Amino acid sequence: MRPERFEICIEETRVEDLRRRLRSANWSPDFGNESWQYGVERGWLERMAHYWAEGFDWRAQEKAMNRLEHYRVEIDGIPIHYAFAPGRGPAPRPLILTHGWPWTFWDWKDVIPRLADPAAFGGRAEDAFDVIVPSLPGFAFSSPLRTTGVGPVRIAALWLRLMRDVLGHARFGAAGGDWGAAVTGELALLCPEALTGVFLTLVWLPNADGRFLPADAFAPDEQWMVARRDEMPLLTASHLAVHTHDPQTLAYALADSPLGLAAWMWERRRAWSDCGGDVERVFSRDFLCTTASLYWLTDTIGSSLRIYKEGYDPSAPPTPREVARIEVPTGFAIAPKDLLFLPRRIAAKRCNLRRWTVLARGGHFAPAEQPEAIATELRAFFGGDVA
């Protein structure tokens, strides 16, 4: 398993085909939808599509991404891409960061330099990390995925192989959000002896589920979590129904239309972030177009959707599983506009809780929405709470 260095460089014909398809898109009529109650509002999407086709500079985004080192390696027949930022300090600590859906590795872009070179941001060089950010299997450059059954448990095993066998780290830290939180929690169960600590931006543990807890299971000062949690079905019902039951059916449409792909993904960015209904208040047009482009230009929208069915297939009988308490030191950064929550007292029973921070702002995409706060939390956790 020898990793190969590469630079991101998409063929120009692929980039031009994206622009052509956007320019010739067949638009569905839209009316009475100014507040997005029927889904993505056409006027906003038309403006975004025009920018994506005519103003967006993919090559500039490639240049920015290529400031990181990029590698590919095959583990157990599964292609894995990872970005790497070497730490600038006397003894950088290895740290793997895992993204979710519809994230990419690039959601961590503003966290990475704050961890790799903290002195450049007013911190201490002694707090530097060697930062490893893989793309989940079937996402972006971790492709093509041709293996089924690749859910969080399998990915955790791949990450252990990546960190230990490929990169040579006997011990390392791990952090993640969304599906990355699930993978990181599974890592804590799989190889506690290899982990210095785990940090999650979503309160999602392999041995605890707060979705169906009664309101009185949450403390009085946690009732806001219940209110936000109870909004989740309205924000995720269509998404979860398709992704968990028949993702391949949707994949044909999204793989044929960049406009459809972007509408499906950008709606989630708006609904799940702390943006007050204005998604561009949190994410720039360039970031939104880059995210959609990474899925489109690598032809991975279909394989990315499958993590939902692999992670919790509603058509498959549940497999009995005894899940132990996580003994690895564990920390959380909880965003007020996230989607899943757990009472602190239950989290403390189910894991070795060392840090619990409720952020002032942020939603489901906390590393991209609040990178400074997340970097500060990670440095404090791995530098002090588990030192």
The set of residues, in sequence order, having a beta carbon less than 8 Å from that of 164 and lying 6+ positions away, is 170, 194
Domain assignment present for residue 47? The answer is no
- Domain ranges, residue 86: 4-25+56-315+325-385
Answer yes or no: pTM beyond 0.95. yes
* Closest to 251 measured CA to CA, from 98, 138, 103, 136: 138
Contacts 24+ apart (CB under 8 A), 38-44: 39/263, 39/267, 40/263, 40/266, 40/267
- Looking at residue 314, its pLDDT comes to 74
Q: Residue 387: its pLDDT value, please?
A: 62
Cα 126 to Cα 24, 29, 196, distances in angstroms = 53, 57, 17
- The whole-angstrom separation of Cα 138 and Cα 121 is 34
Is residue 345 assigned to a domain? yes
List of the chain residues with pLDDT < 50: none
Q: Is residue 320 part of a domain?
A: no
* Residue 157 φ then ψ, to 5°: -65, -35
Give φ, ψ of 294 to 5 degrees: -60, -35
pLDDT value for 385: 67
45 found inside a domain: no
Sequence-distant (≥ 6) Cβ neighbours of residue 222 within 8 angstroms: 341, 343, 344
Q: Give domain status of residue 43, yes or no.
A: no
Number of domains within the chain = 1
In a domain, 372, yes or no: yes
Domain assignment present for 183: yes
Residue 295's closest CA among 247, 254, 353? 254
CATH of the domain at 261: 3.40.50.1820
Q: How far apart are CA 365 and CA 374, in angstroms?
A: 11
Q: Give a yes or no: residue 30 inside a domain.
A: no
